[in-house]
Amino acid sequence: MKSSFKTIALIGKYKSPEVAGPLLELARYLEGRKVKVLIDRLTATQVKDVRYSALALEEIGQQADLAIVIGGDGTMLNIARTLAPHDVALVGVNQGRLGFLTDISVETMIATIGAILDGKFVAEERMLLEGQVTSGARKTFEALAFNDVVVSKGPKGSMLELEVRVDGQFIYNQRADGLIVATPTGSTAYALSSGGPIVHPSLSVMALVPVSPHTLSNRPIVISSTCTVEIVVRDNPEPRVHFDSHSRCDLREGDRIVVRRYARPISLLHPEGHSYYGMLREKLNWNRE
């Protein structure tokens, strides 16, 4: 089976000179496979003598069939949020240790990408979240999140008091250091370190995970991704809301954060034989067979 990837974009870790070598090696290989190569404009600043089209991410979203991200999971998070509206499939090449999202090593990059171009890959859809912040009747901020939306205490360190509703139904008033609304992808990120469950990415759910709650009975809750989560700040001098730690908005008492599933998923492509459970064993150092 042959793939339909005719135009492929290469995107590297932001301000990383180390990306130049693997990127140019991959670009030359793709060119030899008769693929049109695009390079992210910011990435191109780290590469000398670039002879490929350097475009902004918005333009890449409009033209590319596939984007290969060279870097780490943090880079993939940012690119996924940006390209999600454009239905561009993503492949992750990790320059360091294999990541949860970037699971191809630089050493095996050419062989693995070649197999993907030959149609030998596992496609996986991942959900994103969209969040809006309103102050009174005025919308003040909105952003997408691949991992999580996090409402957290401000720099002064005092606990948050939050009112939480799901589909309009009151769940609880909570005093805590914060509250995480996580996707299945984000279940292995901040939510995991806060005691949340690991959620298989094929599930269409969100996890509400308190951060250091004042009451031990406040436990993580897993809800359907069709739900709408509303969080109202009731008391804290300088709270904030973070979207994947890439975007943030300062909040005031009475501000409302509404989180729901984003309409479009992102498609991740993995090498043949990819196993989510095998990846967990590798990353979390679980016992192996």
Which whole-number Å values give the CA distances from 241 to 121, 138, 167, in the listed order? 36, 17, 20
Least confidently predicted of 92-96, 110-114, 204-208, 250-254 = 92-96
Residue 87 annotated in active site: no
- 288 — pLDDT class (breaks 50, 70, 90): low
- Distance from CA of residue 234 to its chain's centroid? 29
Domains of the chain, CATH where assigned: 7-127+265-284 (3.40.50.10330), 129-261 (2.60.200.30)
Mean pLDDT of 167-183: 96
Label residue 96 exposed, middle or buried (CB < 10 Å: 0-12, 13-18, 19+).
exposed
Measured distance CA(124)–CA(139) in Å, rounded? 33
Active-site hit among 40, 65, 73, 103: 73
Residues contacting 142, CB < 8 A, separation 6+: 130, 131, 132, 133
Query: Over the Cα atoms of the chain, what is R_g?
Result: 20
Mean pLDDT of 105-126: 95
Q: Which tens digit of pLDDT belongs to each residue from 151-167?
A: 998 777 788 999 999 99
Pairing of strands 89-94, 104-105: parallel
Q: What is the pLDDT of residue 95?
A: 84
- 2 — pLDDT class (breaks 50, 70, 90): very low
**Whether pLDDT at 97 is above 70:** no
Q: Which tens digit of pLDDT belongs to each residue from 247-274?
A: 999 999 999 999 999 999 999 999 999 9
pTM: 0.93
